[in-house]
Chains A and B, each alone.
Chain A
Amino acid sequence: MIHLTAITRVFRMGDQDVRALSGINLEIASGEYVSIMGPSGSGKTTLLNVLGLLDRPNSGRYELDGRDVTDLSETEQACVRREKIGFVFQSFHLVPRLTAAENIELPLILAGIAPTERKARVDEALLGFDLRDRAQHRPAELSGGQRQRVAIARATILRPTALLADEPTGNLDHHIGAEVMALLEGLHHAGTTLILVTHDRELGARAHRHIAMRDGEIVADEK
């Protein structure tokens, strides 16, 4: 499903070049549960951004579902992101002025889906993520766990093939974090490819495949 060949990403910091990713070769099959771990600055978030088509590598080739997506135009990349990839962020990234239901609805609006179908799918998601009684609440009125559930509902509302989670429990306490992880793993069991970036060893150990990074390179890849 995901096939990276010699991916390099270099950032310019002042007058210095910083290699965030250095010749990454990686293959992730459909339905896998992968954790990417490593210390700060190891390149794991950059890798996730490249996988999610938020960032373009300086060189290398990225194939997603058999299609070369490395040099797609900005609009085509946005379309691929919308259809195939869901993001879950540490800081939730909910739109503060929109209600929980409206936040979940956003990808459907961007995809141009009709309002009646949107409503049905949002209702289904609210039910599935146990958010029905919080539907009309704004993010500021929700707990951390509820906010992350809204974010996950939003990330999965278009049924993406891959779910990219960047420290999804980083802003949650242990108990709520475990609940959120159970939710994500439930989605994985239902067939979604789950790629988890974390520096929490315990959390990373839950994945079926563990990738360790250091200085922009993959230093271990174990199942």
Chain B
Amino acid sequence: MKLRDTLHLSLSSVVSYRTRSLLIVLAMALGVAAVVVLTALGDGARRYVVGKFSSIGTNLIIVLPGRAETAGGFPGAVLAQTPRDLTLEDARFVGQLSQVKRYAPLNVGVVELAAASRLREVTVLGSTADLLPIRHMNLAQGSFLAQGAEYSAQIILGATLAQEFFPHGNVVGQRVRLGDRRFLVSGVLAVQGESMGFNSDELVIIPIDHAQALFNTASLFRILVEARSRSDIVSAKEAIRDTLKRRHDGEDDVTVITQDAVLATFDRILRALTLGVAGIAAISLAVAGILVMNVMLVAVSQRTSEIGLLKAIGAPSADIRLLFFAEALWLSLAGAVLGFVLGQFGSLLIRLVYPQLPAWPPVWASIAGVTIAFVTGILASLLPAARAAQLDPVKALAGR
């Protein structure tokens, strides 16, 4: 029998047993669609988190005082105490390294903000002009802390604060009181929302010297450093550690985190998660495969006399095997295609309902889903096809 005729005959059989075929195709399709949609969700979550992380800066290195090391003490004391604080002078030395493009020392505290007869506690960031480009922040009004003007009492308000304290606009140039000090509003941050635990719409930024005076401290909370390029990150990290070690009398008492390392960790975790959900979805494909096998076995027993007839009129076992094999091929093909379409449609629905989640199914997942459907369908047909081919023609003709 020619291949074309085998495919045609098997297709006519698939079409004529409509309900049976539809059920198999649907089972297959749901399996494939589950793989596509779940991986789209997993990968979307990965892209969302990585995107959020990337948005806090480019080639970012974060320097923390203290050293992550194993130390005696209560659980949770991850960073052991250090006798030396990070200082502004440390930050300046770091800023002079050749691999460093810009840096921003950082102090954080919570202080009462008062203006226009309103009052509330706010998170205060003390930093320098370079914080804006390092953290990818944007201004809605006015100007940021002027370069080299650390001593002037400027304040930048988050978008929500600006709206709450000065609902009629006209924020720039207004005077506010922060703790016991007076500041002049020089700018308002653009709406940015919450990112990495900070809601930049509800914080204020003041020059680092004022922050240190306000919090009565000479130490820094963090130093944010931007390396010149991605390839400089590793050497910059080493150089920062060496510089600070030298400045701290040879004691390696700072922790240097790179954004890349954090990103890579998240990327790995979420990739593993995506693979995990894809694996779970693939199990449903295996279940569909068993359904295909079951239905094909029933089909063989229902069509025993037809198989007997085909043998009587001269079909060799190989042709019979191929016919059933081709039927499974058609069913798998239809299931895979329908599943792919359903999966794409499901992912589109998720993107429409949650626009912030980039739930695009990865290409590998679509290919894997369709391939697994195909392979499962074909594997599941091997046993029924072999059983059909082995039927004794005399018994088969008698319907036994």
Contact = CB atoms under 8 A, between A and B. Distances in A.
A and B are partners in one complex rather than unrelated chains: yes
A95 interface: yes
B16 A93 contact: no
Interface stretch (B125-133, B211-219, B310-318): B310-318
B2 interface: yes
A215 interface: no
Interface stretch (A35-43, A105-113, A120-128, A191-199): A105-113
A87 interface: yes
Interface string B11-23: 0110011000000
**Interface size classification for chain B:** 20 to 34
Given A93-B305, A98-B12, A75 B1 contact: no
Nearest to B9: A109
Nearest to B396: A54
A50 B384 CA distance: 27
A74 B317 contact: yes
Interface string A163-207: 000000000000000000000000000000000000000000000
Contact of B393 (A54, A95, A97, A98): A54
B397 interface: yes
Interface in B347-394: 393-394
Interface string B278-310: 000000000000000000000000000110111
Contacts of B312: 52, 54, 81, 87, 93
A112 B313 contact: no
B310 A110 contact: yes
B9 to A, nearest CB: 7
A49 B313 contact: no
B150 interface: no
A95 B16 CA distance: 11
A93 B397 contact: yes
Contacts of B318: 75
B249 interface: no
Contacts of B306: 95
A82 interface: yes
Interface in A59-98: 74-75, 78-79, 81-83, 87, 89, 93, 95, 97-98
B180 interface: no
Contact of B5 (A74, A81, A89, A109): A109
A154 B311 CA distance: 14
Contacts of B267: none
Interface string B109-143: 00000000000000000000000000000000000
A81 B317 contact: no
A158 B313 CA distance: 10
Q: Which of A52, A54, A83 has the most CB of B within 10 A?
A: A54
A55 interface: yes
A109 B314 contact: no
A40 to B, nearest CB: 14
B85 interface: no
A78 B1 contact: no
Contacts of B90: none
Nearest to A87: B312
A54 B314 CA distance: 10
A78 B316 contact: yes
Contacts of B5: 109, 112
B301 to A, nearest CB: 16
A54 B397 contact: yes
B242 interface: no
B311 A55 contact: no
Interface of B: 1-2, 5, 9, 12-13, 16-17, 305-306, 308-319, 393-394, 397
Given A52-B312, A97-B12, A106-B313, 14 more contacts: A74-B317, A78-B314, A78-B317, A79-B316, A82-B313, A82-B315, A83-B314, A93-B305, A107-B314, A109-B1, A109-B9, A111-B314, A112-B5, A155-B313
